[in-house]
Amino acid sequence: MKDIKVYGPGCKRCETTEAMVKETAEKLGVDVSVEKVTDPRAIAMAGVMSTPGIAIDGKLVHAGGLPDGKKLEAWLSA
């Protein structure tokens, strides 16, 4: 199971990113645990300077704007 954190204050882009992660994981058949992190201090401590951000298994893989679908597939497949 992959541990995924979606960082953001709860804006529309952050919600869309969370949905993209869940939909892509389901499409690929990857078992994931998705946690939404909205605390500004936790976001900053994770090194996310621009939201939304995505961390997979503790590694920050994306920050700022919606992620590219192909990249998201690659991150979840790795």
- Report the catalytic residues: 11, 14
Nearest to 60 by CA among 52, 19, 12: 52
Which residues are within 8 A (CB) of 20 and not within 5 positions of it... i.e. 6 or more apart? 66, 67, 69, 72
CB 51 within 8 Å of CB 9: yes
Helix axes 69-77, 12-28, angle to 10 degrees: 50
